Structure 1
Amino acid sequence: MDDALKKISWPIRTQRLSLRRVTSADVEALWRYRQLAEVTQWITAGPETL
């Protein structure tokens, strides 16, 4: 799948949204988001700690 992602012209922007590839600077924010109860109920597997 990584090859497919390389073909995309990043960032992808719409009128209300901007998507970019994740970076190492995003790790802590993503971890905090993943720990929210409303998120973890939909994630069936993953690490217990950062």
Structure 2
Amino acid sequence: MHTVFHVVEMKQTAKNNRLWEVQLTITDDNDPQLSTLTNRIKEEIDGEGWYRM
């Protein structure tokens, strides 16, 4: 799997409102939220007929 991060916080910089500072944390292979998301995506990809829509 590729590297996946959780977005912790986002805020605009004071000097330039077009610039954002983003705080990230790296996930690990045992992250429950990532596992849930991955399983849901697999279910949708493997679905058939109307379920895939």
> Does TM, scored on the shorter chain, surpass 0.5?
no
Higher helix fraction (1 or 2): 1
- Larger Rg belongs to: 2
Structure ranking higher on relative contact order (CA contacts 8 Å, 6+ apart): 2
TM-score w.r.t. length of structure 1? 0.28
Higher strand fraction (1 or 2): 2
